[in-house]
Amino acid sequence: MTTELGQLTAQRAAVPHAAPGPLTAPFWQGCADGQLLFQRCESCATANFPPAEHCRQCLSTALEWERSAGNGIVYSWTVVHRAATPVFETPYAPAIIDMAEGYQILTNVIDTDIAQLRVGLAVTVDFRAVGNELWLPYFRPSP
Amino acid sequence: MPTKGRTAAIAGVYNTKQGRRLEGETTRRLIVEAIRGALDDAGLSLGDVDGITSENTASLIYDLRLGPVWQGSTFGVGMITEAVAAIEFGLANVVVLVAAQAQAYRDHAATAPWTRPENEFVAPWGMFTAAEFALIARRHMEVYGTTREQLSLVAATIRNNGSANPEAVYADRGPFTPDDITASRMIADPFHLLDCATTSEGGCALVVANVELLDPPCRPVHVLGSGADFFGPSYQHPPAWDLMGRRGDHPNGLVGRHAADMAFAHAGIDRDDVDVLELYDPFSFEIIRQLEAFRFCPDGEGGPFVEDGHIAITGSHPVTTDGGTMSFSHAGTNPQMMQRAIRGVQQLRGDAGALQVPNARIALCSNGGAGALFTTVLLLGDEPR
């Protein structure tokens, strides 16, 4: 299988992934179910991600899982040409996304050409299964 | 008063040989060599030591038979601040700070293990330090218009310093032009290979001592002020420029500003008083960022500032004069951070050879960076203030 020059794709082989714990397992189950979840504080409405035991703003423990609409814009990006480990196919594009619900998530941007990457690019979550049947929340340019 | 008659200062420094690989060496052998070297430089012996900070400090204390001894717990240039505080509070009189690394990273198919910690929200995205710092750099480039050429000027300046330093891993590899930087292969956009720290092996040590009690052969170097800014664990959360704590004063992109403000206020000196900047250089952009964060130039103007030649050895703000982590050495997680302070000491003693900044009397040394969510600062002077 060949990759079109400059075209960013999801990883195919298994990637490193620490086993989720009780706090984070709902997020990964959500990914497998096609839902991007984050925690909303019932007390002050702050969006919390990655999962926390208490709200990072008001410290309330009343955190409820909420489904994100999956839309955001690229806050910053890079394109890796020398992979962290040989299991990653290059190039890939780590990015920080500003989610519409008011939190940031680290991801890889896919299904676009490297030349299209820029701060402010509108993107939408796209769940892809990689080698070890891990469902990851990639992002691609919004339609 | 437990602090009366106590003035802590850096009385000795030592670098072992540094190399891409030091065949036959082990971390412990380098540590022992570095301790001996720094104590010798300070005119002291192992029997004088009553304080130590390292990475596996407890086993060192046992194996060197140093007990009972004060034990520090922090890392990088913060080890010096902690040792000064321990001495001036009466907990110790002679503190050795030591770190080394050999043989921990030989499989170069992957980046060094300490550049890619296990984290379930980070590891699947292929993150490692170059990508973390690239996300900070790219944001600055798009917000302020910082250019690729400006990054190249930083990398070429520091690598040329290293090339002229006979003790550097990459001694005599230069000269480098800005075009040489972008001619190297791309690692993590915008960083090419020569924008990035190397990985190497080596060790180093410093001795911080109560110089009221002891009389070191070299003129001691004094800690004028220090600061430490932390935003959270390195490499576990998105490295966002705009990450802000609840006080809402400084974003992560300016991490180190609060630390520098504290250090300068404590020292009672101004930015203009600094003669040499031993800035931590994990990636070229980090120099531009630190110049802004530490208020050596206005926000967003670090790029044009480096273009004007300020950071060369002959400029107004010479940076990273041994070649830093790009060219001098980048061993493990701790030695290479301590070595910013060692170079500051060498400059203030006039021991920097061809790379000596004339009449250097005050040095600023830093560790960390916005990609790692922390920056620490140390101000050194050739006399107490």
Cβ B145 vs Cβ B304: under 8 Å: no
Query: Considering the domain boundaries, does residue A68 fall inside one?
Result: yes
- How many residues are there in chain B? 385
Query: Considering the domain boundaries, does residue A55 fall inside one?
Result: yes
Sorted by sequence, the CB contacts under 8 Å of residue B314 that are 6+ apart come out as: none
Query: Considering the domain boundaries, does residue A131 fall inside one?
Result: yes
Q: B305: burial class by Cβ within 10 Å (0-12, 13-18, 19+)?
A: buried
B248 touches chain A (CB under 8 A): no
pLDDT of residue B1: 38
Predicted confidence pLDDT, tens digits, chain B (385 residues): 344 568 999 999 999 999 999 999 999 999 999 999 999 999 999 999 999 999 999 999 999 999 999 999 999 999 999 999 999 999 999 999 999 999 887 777 777 777 777 789 999 999 999 999 999 999 999 999 999 999 999 999 999 999 999 999 999 999 999 999 999 999 999 999 999 999 999 999 999 999 998 888 888 999 999 999 999 999 999 999 999 999 999 999 999 999 999 999 999 999 999 999 999 999 999 999 999 999 999 999 999 999 999 999 999 999 999 999 999 999 988 999 999 999 999 999 999 999 999 999 999 999 999 999 999 999 999 998 7
**Range with lowest mean pLDDT among A113-117, A124-128, B2-6, B87-91:** B2-6
Interchain CB distance below 8 Å, B134 and A130: no
B119 touches chain A (CB under 8 A): yes
Query: Considering the domain boundaries, does residue A2 fall inside one?
Result: no
Interchain CB distance below 8 Å, A82 and B186: yes
Query: Considering the domain boundaries, does residue A1 fall inside one?
Result: no
Element (H, E) at A63: strand A63-67
CA atoms of A95 and B122, how far apart (whole Å) = 11
Beta-bridge mates of residue B225: B379
Q: Of the candidates B120, B126, B135, which has its C-beta nearest A76's C-beta?
A: B135
CA atoms of A73 and A50, how far apart (whole Å) = 18
CA atoms of B108 and B88, how far apart (whole Å) = 44
pLDDT > 90 fraction of chain A, expressed in percent and rounded: 88
Query: Considering the domain boundaries, does residue A128 fall inside one?
Result: yes
pTM summary value: 0.96
pLDDT of residue B119: 87
Q: Which domain holds residue A106?
A: 7-14+22-141
B32 touches chain A (CB under 8 A): no
Interface test with A, best of B125, B129, B135, B242 (most A CBs within 10 A): B125
Closest CA to B342 of B213, B183, B204: B204
Domain at A47, CATH number: 2.40.50.840
How many domains are contained in chain A? 1
